[in-house]
Amino acid sequence: MIKTLYFDVETTGTDPSKHGLIQLACLVDIDGTIVDEGNWFIQPFEKDMIDEGALKVNGLSLEKMKGFEFMKPRDVYFQIITLFGKHVDKFNRSDKFWPAGYNCGFDLEFLRVFFEKNDDSYFGSWQNWRAIDPLPLIRYLGWLGKVDLPDYRLATVCNYLNVQLGAAHDALADVRATRECILELKSLIKIG
């Protein structure tokens, strides 16, 4: 059984040690079928720095983040581990998610730090750390001369692969598009 956690985050900046999550979206895929999803808007932690440029990218304001749509980080944390726990036994070494996302290392680090800010240093108990990320493959194909893209933003890659993106910089739209990009690239890869 292959359990894949497609996920994406939106943040208040680019440094997980200083900035925080403001949106997390995920799709739980088991053997190629989406069986669950989550989409949380998160109030930053009190000490999280907020980069105005990041808010412009996300189309958010401080006032909106204080609104009822945005949940307290601790409440979101409990919802996340509840969702994860429905599909993975964090105490079983062979029962883990394959993390998947676009530029996945960035998102994994923010999610790891989010867990730590919630006094949980066991984020790694949920996944196997062998991230599935279409970005390195697209770059490799570019290096081989098989793909000629002006940049490697998700929107550009989606356009190249004929994948609908939806509202860019919305974590749920981005994670859905990333999953489709990964599946499209998977169908293009010929091994053996």
| pLDDT the model gives residue 92 | 95
Q: What is the mean pLDDT of each run of 10 residues along the chain (192 residues)?
A: 96 94 96 97 92 81 77 96 97 96 96 96 92 93 91 95 86 95 85 58
Could you give phi then psi for residue 113, rounded to 5 degrees?
-65, -35
Distance CA 70, CA 74 (A): 12
Interstrand relation of 98-100 and 33-41 (parallel, antiparallel or unpaired): unpaired
| pLDDT the model gives residue 12 | 93
Distance CA 21, CA 7 (A): 13
CATH class name, domain 3-125: alpha beta
| pLDDT the model gives residue 59 | 78
List residues bridging with 99 in a β-sheet. Answer: 5
SS3 content of the chain, % helix, strand, coil (to 5): 40, 20, 40
Please calculate the CA angle 172-4-43 and round it to the nearest 5 degrees.
Answer: 35
Distance CA 53, CA 35 (A): 35
3-class secondary structure per residue, 56-70: HHHCCCHHHHCCCCC
Structure pTM?
0.92
Task: For the chain, give every domain's residue range.
Answer: 3-125, 134-188
| pLDDT the model gives residue 79 | 97
| pLDDT the model gives residue 85 | 97
β-sheet with 33-41: strand ranges across: 33-41, 21-30, 3-11, 98-100
